Chains A and B, each alone.
Chain A
């Protein structure tokens, strides 16, 4: 296999097979090759060399992309636009999914606002919670109205007459374990004075906060 004497043309042969010549250069070289056995042979050799390495297995593009670092400015863990290689499609939300997500967001927001409003009400007017008292046990008429304990918090124990004509009722609001020893003794004494269960289920009693103002 001999070499062509035109070194510049030989230099351009790789560019010819890679399609990187201008139209004029391609026409000039093609015309030369038709009459030059050495250049034709060299061009065929270049094709054989490329054929040799063409058998190299192609790398897995998706695997390589998955190993790449995140772009600058995109913090780690933030999902990027999905890869579309290897048959995968980029992550794109459908319109229906967007509406569903928006609906969920509205529901969560309304629920959060409701909880917030309830919390504010509870914090502003705690007395309203203890104002709704129920008649737990009727007290025997002989027991008489119980005397409120001076140091008993109003939210723990409260003894109120249900009405002037009926027996007074003991109402306990709040956990028993929060009562002081004196309060417990008073409560037990009231319970000891009771006589059996009422014949009929007592009616729930609801009083206003204004009624509590004169207790102390």
Chain B
């Protein structure tokens, strides 16, 4: 998969990138509309709970600031996932550092995502969520990129910085772990 439309209009991502670089901001709107939801879901399934929209926005800002470096070897969506994953890792590292310096009482106890958590808890699929949450971070990322985003093993390997074979193994191990969790 080199480039795709991902169900939004006839223009490919590459064509839209070229249009945006020529000054057409409507192309950016189509691109954001096409990929923002998938990025938000990937962030949520990867354990991000705070300011997911801000994370998605930062991903697009970072991507559009360096579109010249987008080689086009993979799809734009794969590239966006790669950028978002790096941002998530940076954010987690920053949070770990902050944990040692910020008193516990200063941390905001409630987040907007708690409401979603409560809603999810009431849903029948809560067990599935628990099963996915029980996966290791690498397994969870690969599992969600494969199941929800539909990326190929090759693209997944590029996103997580691994190999295609390793991505396949992680996926099947994750699927096995989820089934075992649900069977218990």
Contact = CB atoms under 8 A, between A and B. Distances in A.
Interface in B49-77: 52-53, 56-57, 60-61, 64-65, 68
Q: How many interface residues does chain B have, given as a range?
A: 35 or more
Given A56-B41, A59-B56, A71 B23 contact: yes
Contacts of B143: 49
Q: How many interface residues does chain A have, given as a range?
A: 35 or more
Contacts of A11: 168
B119 interface: yes
Contact of B29 (A1, A54, A61, A73): A61
Interface string A47-66: 01111111111111111110
Given A1-B179, A46-B147, A65-B32, A55 B56 contact: no
Contacts of B183: 1
B93 interface: no
A202 interface: no
A64 B120 contact: no
A14 B53 contact: no
Contacts of B36: 58-59, 61, 64
A82 interface: yes
Given A52-B120, A64-B32, A85-B33, A59 B150 contact: no
Nearest to B19: A71
Contact of B20 (A54, A55, A71): A71
A18 B1 CA distance: 13
Contact of A82 (B25, B146, B175): B25
Given A65-B29, A80-B24, A81-B24, A14 B146 contact: yes
B40 A1 contact: no
A9 to B, nearest CB: 13
Contacts of B125: 48, 51-52
Interface string B20-37: 111111101100110011
Nearest to B48: A56
A64 B150 contact: no
Interface string A129-157: 00000000000000000000000000000
B51 to A, nearest CB: 11
Given A49-B147, A59-B36, A68-B60, A73 B176 contact: no
Nearest to A58: B37
Interface of B: 1, 20-26, 28-29, 32-33, 36-37, 39-41, 43-45, 52-53, 56-57, 60-61, 64-65, 68, 116, 119-120, 123, 125, 128-129, 132, 143-144, 146-148, 150, 168, 172, 175-176, 178-179, 182-183
Interface of A: 1, 3, 7, 10-11, 14-15, 17-18, 20, 42, 45-46, 48-65, 67-69, 71-74, 80-85, 90
